Structure 1
Amino acid sequence: MRQVNLRSVDLNLLVVLEKLLETRHVSVAATQLHMSQPAVSRALQRLRDALQDPLLVRIAGDYELTERAIEIQRLLPSALATIKDVIAKPEFDPTTAEETIRFSGPELELNLYGPPLLRRMKREAPGMKLEMKSDIRNQFEPLENGKAHFVLSGQTPTTATSQLHCFSLGRFSYVCLMSRNHPLARKPVSLEDYLSQDHISVMITGAGHSIIDEKLAVLGHKRNVAVKIGSFFAAMHFCGQSDMLFLVPSIFDTQIYNGHNTVPSPVPDFLKDHHQEFFLYWHERYHHDPMIKWTRNLMKETTKQYRSGE
């Protein structure tokens, strides 16, 4: 088959070609296309040059299609339909969608934001599914390699990348969590109280709550971290079954505290300005995808109460 230089073919010419093959008349085609007759004549000449075939030939006063034109007329409708599908903006209907949205991130973020999102999805997109994979180390790698549509995280990328987008899911102060039977339960915790207790730390990046330790170091103090653990909810369970303290964001509700036999108390003054912000991240490759846009909007709606000023 002869190779065709596609750069020499204007897509608009294919529309003209379809009408010329249908009407077999330049003037009639021009009228139906709302073009001038000279413009259609020029288009026909360009098509003849590109296809190296006369396409329309005059026989006994009428125009007839060449054999090549007959074959093109058979193939052209499906070709134009394919081109339209390629160019057309994709649509997304949540009521009929059956796709799976893939999330990745630490268990804390997945547990906080996954259930509210799932409840909304089941109402608005009953056929869709959620896939949530807990990952605390290379948190942003699933976005880079395309294994996840979104990452939920309280961390920021260690290396700047223009390929990632994000928005805030909320910014929260901290509370000091302890067993409901702890002597300090439901009381304001002073710095002296805080330092006198053993502590639990979650190892998100391998070092525990290093920011807390840095703040204490500036004040000339050091806390005793008795347990370092890789699971946030396991840490809450440890806390409820011991006399150790555990710092958590204030996003949790009473039901979660009760489920772990814990209660929150106000943090010491040196931690009053310490906050945790959570983000929804996604990659540029999905930025304009209608399904991903819909999911982002759903996340904004389900977390609106956590963002001030909205």
Structure 2
Amino acid sequence: MRQVNLRSVDLNLLVVLEKLLETRHVSVAATQLHMSQPAVSRALQRLRDALQDPLLVRIAGDYELTERAMEIQRLLPSALATIKDVIAKPEFDPTTAEETIRFSGPELELNLYGPPLLRRMKREAPAMKLEMKSDIRNQFEPLENGKAHFVLSGQTPTTATSQLHRFSLGRFSYVCLMSRNHPLAGKPVSLEDYLSQDHISVMITGAGHSIIDEKLAVLGHKRNVAVKIGSFFAAMHFCGQSDMLFLVPSIFDTQIYTGHNTVPSPVPDFLKDHHQEFFLYWHERYHHDPMIKWTRNLMKETTKQYRAGE
């Protein structure tokens, strides 16, 4: 097969070619294309040169298609339709969509934001599905390799940041979680109280709540972390079944606290300015995808109550 340099082909000529093959007449094609007859004649000559075939030949006073032209006429409609699909702006209708939206992130973020998103999505896009994978080893790798559309995370990426977009899902202060039977339950926790208790720490990045330990170190103190655990909700369960303290973002509702036999108390003064902000991240490759834009808007709606000024 002869190699074709597409850069030398004017795709506008294909529209003219389709009409010429249909009408088999330069003047009629020009009229239907709203072009001048000389312009269509020049286009025909360019097509003959590019395709190395006369395409239209005069026989007994009329123009007939060559064998090559008849083959092109058979293939051209689907080729033009494909080109239109490539160029046309993609559409997305959530009411009929059946796609799967893939999320990745730590267990906490997926559990906090997944259920309300699912409830809203099932109302507006009943046939769509959610896929949520918790992987804390490299939270943003699924965005880089295309295995996830979104990452939900309170962490900040360190690589490929120029290719990532994000918006805030809310910024939260902390509360001190403890068993409902704990002597400090429901009471403000002083620094002295805090230091006298054993603590649970979640190892999201392998180091637990290092910022808290750094704050204590500045004050010349150190807490006793009796349990380090890799699951946030397992840590809440441990807390409810022991006399240890556990710091959590204030986004949780009463139902979650009650389910783990825990209650929240105000944190010591040195932690009053300690906050956790969560973000929705996505990669540039999906930034203009209509399904992804729809999902982002849905996330904004479901988290609107947590974002100041909205």
Verify: 1:39 aligned to 2:21, yes or no: no
In 2, Cα distance between equivalents of 1:6 and 1:203: 55
Post-superposition shift, 1:26?
A: 1.2
Query: Over residues 250-303 of structure 1, what are the superposed CA-to-partner deviations in whole Å (9 max), with x where a residue is unaligned?
Result: 000000001111111111111111100001111122212211111111111111
Return 62-71 or 20-29, whichever deviates more.
Answer: 62-71
Query: Over residues 46-74 of structure 1, what are the superposed CA-to-partner deviations in whole Å (9 max), with x where a residue is unaligned?
Result: 10110111112223332222222122112
In 2, Cα distance between equivalents of 1:136 and 1:60: 77
TM-score between the two structures when normalised by the length of structure 1: 0.97
Query: Over residues 129-159 of structure 1, what are the superposed CA-to-partner deviations in whole Å (9 max), with x where a residue is unaligned?
Result: 1111111221111111222111111111133
Secondary structure at 1:162 match in 2:
helix
Query: Over residues 202-226 of structure 1, what are the superposed CA-to-partner deviations in whole Å (9 max), with x where a residue is unaligned?
Result: 0000110000001111111111111
Verify: 1:242 aligned to 2:232, yes or no: no
Secondary structure at 2:215 match in 1:
helix
Q: Identity over the aligned pairs, expressed in percent? A: 98
Task: Identify if the C-alpha distance between structure 1 residues 160 and 83 changes in structure 2 by more than 3 Å, giving closer, same or farther.
Answer: closer
In 1, Cα distance between equivalents of 2:268 and 2:200: 16
What is aligned with 1:264? 264
Checking the alignment, whether the CA contact within 8 Å between 2:95 and 2:125 is kept in structure 1 is: yes
Unaligned runs of 5+ in 2: none
Secondary structure at 1:227 match in 2:
strand
In 1, Cα distance between equivalents of 2:275 and 2:45: 70
Return 10-19 or 92-101, whichever deviates more.
Answer: 92-101
In 1, Cα distance between equivalents of 2:65 and 2:147: 52
Unaligned runs of 5+ in 1: none
Return 228-237 or 93-102, whichever deviates more.
Answer: 93-102
Secondary structure at 2:200 match in 1:
strand
Post-superposition shift, 1:160?
A: 5.0
Query: Over residues 12-51 of structure 1, what are the superposed CA-to-partner deviations in whole Å (9 max), with x where a residue is unaligned?
Result: 0000001111111111111111111111111111101101
In 1, Cα distance between equivalents of 2:49 and 2:160: 51
Post-superposition shift, 1:244?
A: 0.9
Query: Over residues 107-135 of structure 1, what are the superposed CA-to-partner deviations in whole Å (9 max), with x where a residue is unaligned?
Result: 11011001001101111111111111111
In 2, Cα distance between equivalents of 1:66 and 1:130: 54
In 1, Cα distance between equivalents of 2:257 and 2:75: 67
Secondary structure at 1:194 match in 2:
helix
In 2, Cα distance between equivalents of 1:44 and 1:99: 44
Task: Identify if the C-alpha distance between structure 1 residues 159 and 66 changes in structure 2 by more than 3 Å, giving closer, same or farther.
Answer: closer
What is aligned with 2:191? 191
Secondary structure at 1:28 match in 2:
helix
In 1, Cα distance between equivalents of 2:76 and 2:159: 49
Verify: 1:139 aligned to 2:143, yes or no: no
Checking the alignment, whether the CA contact within 8 Å between 2:144 and 2:160 is kept in structure 1 is: no
What is aligned with 1:205? 205
In 2, Cα distance between equivalents of 1:130 and 1:72: 44
Secondary structure at 1:248 match in 2:
strand
Return 86-95 or 245-254, whichever deviates more.
Answer: 86-95
Secondary structure at 2:39 match in 1:
helix
